[in-house]
Amino acid sequence: MENGEHMFSEPEERNLKYITELYGKVKELIIFCEENQEEFKTNLHIVKELRDAFDHLMRVFAVKLELKEGREDGYIQTSLDKVLGHVFRAGYDTLDFATIILRDKINKEVSDFSPSAIQASIPNYYSEIRPSVESITTDIIKLRNNKDIAQPSPELFNEYFKNVIKLQEMFKQIVTAKPSLIEYANKERNGKWSNFSIQIVVGIIIGAILVWAGLSG
């Protein structure tokens, strides 16, 4: 490579820029999954995909830096396509994990509360949050089963990445509403105990009246 020449052509730079942006999103998902599910840390498949991506990327730099002999025409582009494919595979699998984690966390946060407490504290839970969680989960499972890594779609990946961000926002909304849920649940329990106490008192009074009436007769 002569002094003053660019290491990469414009198309190659565009591909590298997109790969870098994609990796940033995948890494964000990986960090979330690692922080919220211990077993994710042992997912060797995702680690292998990223390792393979790095290996192909290093081959590209080896040729560009003339550490290896020149390859056939199209080698750089083919290698960059392989890098992209591996990062996409890691991304799709991590999207799937993140969706499952968020779905389970959302369900767990509300599982101990009555429907009336949920409705009062999170008015859009049954109308928006719950249907969205199920819809997004189903869509990402379909994506996992039908994804075509040979022709990865940046638009499709970004769409599902945004859906996971939506799930995170919904989870945050529920966590924020947790104090209200607890307060409502306590009022429900106190109300039930109050009604039960009243029933006991009324029962005692009625019993006393009946006993008195019997004695008077």
- Work out the pLDDT band at 183, boundaries 50, 70, 90: confident
202, part of any domain: no
Residue 170 has pLDDT above 90, yes or no: yes
- Provide the pLDDT for residue 190: 61
Domain count, the chain: 1
- Provide the pLDDT for residue 49: 95
40, part of any domain: yes
Only one residue has tokens 């820029």, namely: 17
- In total, the chain counts a number of residues equal to 217
| CA 95 to the chain's CA centroid | 7
Query: Taking the CA of residue 21 as centre, how many other CA atoms within 13 Å lie in the half-sphere pointing to its CB?
Result: 10
**Could you read off the pLDDT of 143-153 as tens digits, one per residue?**
766 665 556 67
Residue 197 has pLDDT above 60, yes or no: no
Burial of 215 (0-12, 13-18, 19+ CB in 10 A): exposed
87, part of any domain: yes
Gyration radius (Cα) of the chain, Å: 29
- Those residues with Cβ within 8 angstroms of residue 52's Cβ, 6 or more apart along the chain or in another chain: 82, 86
203, part of any domain: no
Cα separation, 1 vs 5, whole angstroms: 7
Summarize the confidence of residues 89-107 as an average pLDDT. Answer: 90
196, part of any domain: no
210, part of any domain: no
192, part of any domain: no
Residue 194 has pLDDT above 50, yes or no: no
Cα separation, 34 vs 43, whole angstroms: 10
| Residue 57 domain boundaries | 10-187
Q: Return the minimum-mean-pLDDT range out of 17-31, 127-141, 146-160, 200-214.
A: 200-214
Tokens of 141: 């499972």
- Work out the pLDDT band at 74, boundaries 50, 70, 90: confident
